Amino acid sequence: MSSGTGTSEQAAPTRRDRTHWLYVAVIVAVILGIIVGFVFPDFAVGLKWLGTAFVGLIRMLIAPVIFCTIVLGIGAIRKAASVGRIGGLALAYFLVMSTVALTIGLIVGNLLHPGEGLQLSESLRGQGADLAKTAEEGGSTTDFVLGLIPVTLLSALTEGSVLQALLLALLVGFAIQSLGRSGEPLLRGVGYLQKLVFRILAMVMWVAPIGAFGAIAAVVGETGLDALKSLGILMLAFYITCAVFVFGILGLILRLVARVNVFSLLKYLGREFLLILATSSSETALPRLIAKMEHAGVSQSVAGIVVPTGYSFNLDGTAIYLTMASLFIAEALGDPLSISEQIGLLAFMIIASKGAAGVTGAGLATLAGGLSAHRPELLDGVGLIVGIDRFMSEARALTNFAGNAIATVLVATWTDQLDRDQLSAALSGQSPFDEARMIDEHGHDDAHADARAAETDRDVAAGSR
């Protein structure tokens, strides 16, 4: 027993160290890119191809990422819906709040115009120029609708557009859902495919420092201080927007519905927030959130259903990031999105942003997918975001985690499965959480996470019966 625990404790720092070094490498690459851009501007502009190559690697994975996340997302809807009122309320709430978060991102982006003033030249657009020509050849509305239909079932994942991959994912997802139990092996197969795709994505992200160096150096080389100013405004605006969303909007809803102070709830989860900051992912804190919600008076069934489902469907921070980053790229390339294009992008992001939580690089892939579906000529602008994406990932993860914690309390309140006395005792510190319940206090114990997942699956199965 002790040896197994020791093994897990030895393995945990390794994972944290790797994430730490990637984070440090991106920071160093951005600093070097800025220096090269200022000192050797002409040479720096020629480094654009490094960022373009990285975007190409991300683009390679867009279709499979969208396909896997949507298919598995539909499977999660089936599981949540099978437990009746709890799952239905959770899904409805997640859909509404994701839409609100996306809308807020669009509003803030339109008010601040963080990319305005860069107006990058064609030399920095790279392959975007070719994509623009392809987009202009799209034709009429009829051609657009016909273009949604792939030539073959698999061509949507190899040579088709992102919208074709999305259509295929929806058809496959609902087809598997209609098969019932006989479709579960297929769903598991897609799950394994998703693990493979995300593992490749994780490997690609280790090239991010090179892509960030090339993209930042090229932009700074051409625009100078304007680039740093615009990127800084985007980061600051994103942080502030996430804070306003959590403490203002979600906090107000929590106070009105559950009569709970959002600061008390988040203070109770302080250890988990520190864990997320250390790993840049809310995935590591998932089992702890379930345990802490149960300790705070939320019923086991609500915590076991809402938290895992929200982990895939309630990505408020990611939603804000996707819309603000899209507007930034469009303005930086001197081709702002129209209102109709923004609404279309919002609708796409509502669907495409589901299911990729906790995966390094998934946010970039989804962002690239949204731009590729609506304005392919802007796809190369993703390289502008690479350099600051890691700085924004913590805010995304923290916002997603806070949103799921608040959602769990709200659903428990609506379904009358919240012990208020126990909640008050937990939040006030009178009934502290027993850390001994968690095998690894850092939240990295795989065996414990698997046990919690199995326990959740049993809850879902029991609810469906």
Whether residue 176 lies inside any domain: the answer is: yes
Tens of pLDDT, residue by residue over 329-366, are: 887 777 777 787 788 777 777 766 655 554 555 667 77
Domain containing residue 366: CATH number: 1.10.3860
Residue 1: inside a domain, yes or no? no
Q: Is residue 12 part of a domain?
A: no
Q: At 418, is the secondary structure helix, strand, or coil?
A: strand
In a domain, 192, yes or no: yes
Q: What share of the chain in percent tops pLDDT 90?
A: 7
Neighbours of 232 (CB within 10 A): 12
**Residue that wins the pLDDT comparison between 419 and 226:** 419
Is 324 a domain residue?
yes
Predicted model pTM: 0.68
63 in Cβ contact with 442 (< 8 Å): no
Helices 300-313 and 382-414: crossing angle in degrees, nearest 10, is 160
List CB contacts of 248: < 8 A, sequence separation 6 or more: none
Residue 297 and residue 334: Cα distance in Å, rounded?
52
pLDDT band at 254 (very low <50, low <70, confident <90, very high): very high
Number of domains the chain is built from: 1
What is the CB-side half-sphere exposure of residue 254 using CA atoms within 13 A?
22
As a whole-number percent, the residues of the chain with pLDDT over 70 amount to: 72
Mean pLDDT of 17-28: 69
Scanning the structure block, which residue is given the tokens 């800025």?
A: 34
Inside any domain, residue 9: no
| Listed ranges 129-143, 244-258, 382-396; the one with the highest mean pLDDT | 244-258
145 located within any domain: yes
Residue 403 one-letter amino acid: G
User: Of the candidates 258, 242, 202, which has an alpha carbon nearest to the alpha carbon of residue 398?
Assistant: 242
With both helix axes pointing from N to C terminus, report the angle between 208-223 and 382-414 in degrees, rounded to the nearest 10.
Answer: 120
pLDDT confidence of residue 178: 82
Calpha distance 359→317 (Å, rounded)? 14
Q: How far is CA 434 from CA 87, 139, 405, in A?
A: 28, 63, 18
Domain that holds residue 55: 20-464
> In angstroms, rounded to a whole number, what is the distance separating the alpha carbons of residues 279 and 358?
10
For 199-217, what is each residue's pLDDT tens digit? 887 788 788 788 878 878 8
In a domain, 10, yes or no: no
Mean per-residue pLDDT for 157-164? Answer: 71
Residue 132 — pLDDT band, cuts 50, 70, 90?
Answer: very low
